[in-house]
Homo-oligomer: A and B are copies of this chain.
C-alpha cells in the first residue's frame, strides 16, 4: 500500500537548503504575480531513492531531462515566467545545446600575454549567438528560476513549496510535471546507516510505494491551476489506458503519454474528453525541429482555452 502523503512529509526531513529555496520561490512568484503574468512550473529529470543514509548507492529513474529543459525554452518564448525545478546536473535550458567538450572546442585562444583574448570561432557564432541572446534575455529579465532536487524526498518538499507560492496565480498557473518521479522508495527507518557490505552476500531490497502527490496537488494546493502530468511507459499497449486511469483518478486537465523508444517524435495528449497525437514528421526532424516546440504550443493553447472558459 502507498503510504499517505502526509505521513511521507512527517517522516522525511526537508533538504538542508530548503528554506533558501522557499525564499527564492516566494520572491520570484510575488514579483511576477504583481504584473499578472502567466507562470509555469516545470519539473524535470529523475528523482533518486537512496539505499543507505550515508548514500553510496541509490535507485534512479532514467531521464536526462531533455523534455523539461527544451520545454522551458519554448515556454519562455510564449512569455511564460518559468520555475525550472530539476534534478541536479540534468539538462538545463540553453546550456543543453553545449554538452561535453563542444564548449571548449568552440573557443579560440589568442595568446598575447597580458592582452590575451578568447573568442568563439567564427563558424560557431551563428549557432551560439541566438541561444546566448535568448539566455541573457531570460536571465536579465529575471524570467526563469532554477531550483534543484536529487532525492524523491527533496522533490516532495520543493514541489509543495512551489505550489504554495503558485496558488495565488489561480488559473494563470500551469504545472508541467515532466520529472520522472520514483514510484518506490525505502522508508528512512528501514535504511542502513552505512554502505551495504558485499561480503555479507547480495542484499534483497524491499521497496514501498511512494504516495502520489497529484491528489493533494490538484485538490488542495493549486485547485485553480492548469495541471499537466506525463506518463512514460515501455509497453505501447497499456499507455493510453494508463493515462486515462490517471486523469479519471486525479481529475487534472491533461496527461501527456509517451513511449520510451519513440518519445522524441510522438506523444499522445489525453484529456478528460478525448485523446490525440502530437507527432514530428520526418521532414521536421531533419530540419532540427524539436517535438517540445509542438507540445508546448498545444499546451499553451489549451491553457488559454481553460482561462477563457472560466471567464464566461
Contact = CB atoms under 8 A, between A and B. Distances in A.
A48 interface: yes
Most B CB contacts (10 A, CB to CB) among A99, A117, A232 go to A117
A95 B89 CA distance: 14
Given A204-B204, A204-B206, A260-B54, A125 B129 contact: no
Nearest to A198: B183
Interface string A77-92: 0000000000001001
Interface residues on A, range: 35 or more
B59 A58 contact: yes
Interface stretch (A68-76, A101-109, A167-175): A101-109
Contacts of A58: 59-60, 62
Nearest to A59: B59
B234 A194 contact: yes
A233 B55 CA distance: 10
Most B CB contacts (10 A, CB to CB) among A195, A209, A261 go to A195
Nearest to A148: B100
A37 interface: no
A94 interface: yes
A89 B45 CA distance: 14
Interface in A234-279: 234-235, 260-261
A193 B260 CA distance: 13
A204 to B, nearest CB: 5
Interface of A: 1, 48, 51-52, 54-62, 64, 89, 92, 94-95, 98-101, 103-104, 107, 109, 111, 116-120, 122, 125, 128-129, 132-133, 135-136, 180, 182-184, 193-196, 198, 201-209, 232-235, 260-261
